Amino acid sequence: MQEVIFEVREDQVDGGYAAVALGHEIATQGETVEELREMVRDAVGCHFEDDGAGTLPSVIRLHYVKDEAFAV
């Protein structure tokens, strides 16, 4: 089973989400989580279609990262 993992961060200023694949040159964004999933699926399809191997991963994992800062 081949898996692609994306690090997902919420844009605190403009809203929406940005996703970057770990170990692959794939990045995309979406305004909502649902839109982000669609965009990630599309980006993965395009990336693996263009690499010549034509083998799509069987799993896409979204790893949500949330940064928090507060005054001491």
pLDDT at position 68 is 81
Q: What confidence category does residue 4 fall into, taking pLDDT thresholds of 50, 70 and 90?
A: very high
The pTM score is 0.84
- Give the residue carrying structure tokens 């170990």: 23
> What angle is formed at CA 21 by the lines to CA 15 and CA 27, rounded to 5 degrees?
50
The tens digit of pLDDT for each residue in 13-72 reads 889 999 999 999 999 999 999 999 999 999 999 999 866 666 889 999 999 998 888 899
CA–CA dist 52, 35 (Å, integer):
27
Q: Reading across the β-sheet that carries 27-30, which strands appear in turn? A: 27-30, 17-21, 3-10, 59-65
pLDDT of residue 1: 46
Instruction: Give the pLDDT mean for 3-16.
Output: 93
DSSP letter, residue 22: S
Domain boundaries, given as residue ranges, for the chain = 3-65
